[in-house]
Structure 1
């Protein structure tokens, strides 16, 4: 195994004490919030070229169709832990979208529910956030204000998992979800209804940039991209020596923002899995695929690419190098070449699963029912309406 891949793992171990998600477990100010939608802790801000400096605060129960005229595609940006409406991915992606695309952008703000150091409680607050977002989407679609197939969710970190959970509550299946380094801690185990996966939308594309730390390693979408193995991103040790993992994590929205208007593009090659790519046992010739905003919705599988250490990060297409003779020496068992679904490199004691953490009471689900129109689902389906204990 290459030494350059072990380096980020060792770095992650060394910094884990400061990024440990159980710090908030013993903080009395950390709370799980119950309530109904709309909720005072979850707000939605509408941006367009004409309102980018003065966004419109939306009331999900009293939407003005004229705010969405003329009709345009709608991009919904979802921040992560410790974020707010002007935090990543919004700060990177929203300005570029408004400059180069004729779209509406909604930036969700649920900052009071995901503040530091309350990571465990933040994760437990996500179902409320997801149901409030679903309420907004359902009302937009039901009133024919925005067509369902023109809505695209883009979630960073915990926001990627919010997008996945929102799929549990929308009336119509979402067209596209983009996960930007979806959060790992507390999402490794448990049902798919708790985390982003390819069943959440017609097309799910994922970019992994901090797989040994804050982001998940295993594939989560129809297509998954791993810039620089998804591990240590070039330039991050210099950019943030105190916490390079934070830099790794934020490279996902930065790459995505650049992809909107890049002249060369982020091009990756397909490989059967992360471990096979790690061992340099993937073909280095043939077709390449574009990562980011303009990705093809027909792509399937995992793709790998390199980036520059600073902006502009995109390097364009990689020259072909014929490695067929090397590959011919190996006979891989493709049934055992990937990370097991129940394991990822991490400090297990630092990432307790929610089932082992009993710190809050069950949320009042009845109050949410008053404001949301639910779809009847067979009892055996995994899409649960229950909050996590």
Structure 2
């Protein structure tokens, strides 16, 4: 089953990547505006960092990675680092969704990266080739913050959307210490399907990696990438996206990841997923209804591992809360009879089997039963 699942996932993901490329055959290869950064040095004029807090949210501070002012980070607070994706900038997703939600609800500092000149449309191939530079410059900033004691290691959380999710993974290659947490919001798939782990986000990149997949058959990765992976609405098509963006529902699917995450910061219902071994098992409805549940998003438990599937709404608020646990009164208890006396062992505890839907939907007329079953004390000798 594992081999079939992995092979199917790879084929579907590869097909989606090919479709993405065919949608724009040249991908900027002949566009003079597209370029690979000639200088790999950091700091770099094409990669800038902007510090936001409640006091500076309307007038952010541009940081110099090699000349940091410790007073900009006083008093000490957790640090959230937001990384945009292809065609983005510091006011584009995930920043426009997550940054205000953080500043409105949590006492934190937020750094928004802007590397827009390196990821312009239609320069996707060049954009992917520019990511190591972005990652190197981000790592320079984080290393300096930690070495100077301006920010504590356990307070750093990197959040990357689309190509930004892959930047987060690559940044780990240049850090002197693995980050505490990385969140991948629908990490980009095209040109990353067959990449080595050093070029894409994976669970080894941070002490805890959580990933939200919302466009698994399009721009986003289908394969599990973190310690815990969430698949809202299974992942390939988000409710409401055909109506919201009929010309390009994939963009809507893709951007649902930062939207869900932003809502999770202060949601009273929460995005609760139920564990299942793989998307293929989920697709065929074979997941246990009694498997563990986990909260997706900002408040995810760092003790959780595995793949979780959940339902989310078609419009805000997207969270649908925690699914009800099955009613055990509708389950059938299986008893183990002793081989000697055909009786229930005195120390045996009943085991709950899977639910039988017919017991929920149909009444049974006892007059139609041909025989009545009566429990009696066991005989001295077994019946068979």
* TM-score (structure 1 length as normaliser): 0.79
Q: Does 1:79 align with 2:80?
A: no
The match for 1:153 is: 158
Corresponding position of 1:28: 32
- Aligned mate of 1:143, from 144, 148, 152: 148
Q: Which runs of 5+ in 2 are unaligned?
A: 1-11, 332-352, 357-384
Q: Displacement, 1:52?
A: 0.2
Q: Kindly provide the CA deviation profile for residues 290-337 of structure 1, in whole angstroms up to 9, marking residues without a partner as x.
A: 00000000010000000110000000011235795489xxxxxxxxxx
Contact 1:46 1:105 in 2 (8 A): yes
Q: Distance in 1 between matches of 2:326 and 2:65?
A: 53
Name the residue aligned to 1:66.
Answer: 71
Given that residues 77 and 109 in structure 2 are in contact (C-alpha distance below 8 angstroms), is that contact kept between their aligned partners in structure 1? yes
- Please state how far the C-alpha of 1:208 moved relative to its aligned partner: 0.1
Distance in structure 1 (CA, Å) of the matches to 2:38 and 2:20: 30
Q: 1:248 and 2:253 equivalent?
A: yes
Instruction: Identify the residue that residue 199 of structure 1 maps to in structure 2.
Output: 204
Deviations 1:26-49 (CA, angstroms, capped at 9, x unpaired): 323211003210000000000000
CA deviation after TM superposition for structure 1 residue 24, in Å: 1.3
Question: What is the aligned residue count?
Answer: 319
Question: C-alpha separation between the residues in 2 aligned to 1:60 and 1:14?
Answer: 38
User: Are residues 1:267 and 2:272 paired?
Assistant: yes
Q: How does 1:182-331 map to 2 (within 5 A)?
A: 182-321=187-326, 325=354
Q: Evaluate the alpha carbon distance shift between residue 177 and residue 21 of structure 1 in structure 2; reply closer, same or farther with a 3 A threshold.
A: farther
Q: Is the 8 A contact 1:22 1:119 kept in 2?
A: no
- Structure ranking higher on relative contact order (CA contacts 8 Å, 6+ apart): 1
Asked if 1:117 corresponds to 2:125, the answer is no
CA distance in structure 1 between the aligned counterparts of 2:201 and 2:92, rounded to whole angstroms = 21
**1:53 to 2:81 alignment:** no
TM-score scaled by length of structure 2: 0.80
Secondary structure at the counterpart of residue 261 of structure 1: coil
Offset at residue 13 of structure 1 (A): 9.7
Stretch moving more, 28-37 or 313-322:
313-322
Deviation per residue, 1:262-315 (Å, 9 max, x gap)? 010000000011111111100112431100000000010000000110000000
Counterpart-to-counterpart distance in 1, 2:18 and 2:135: 33
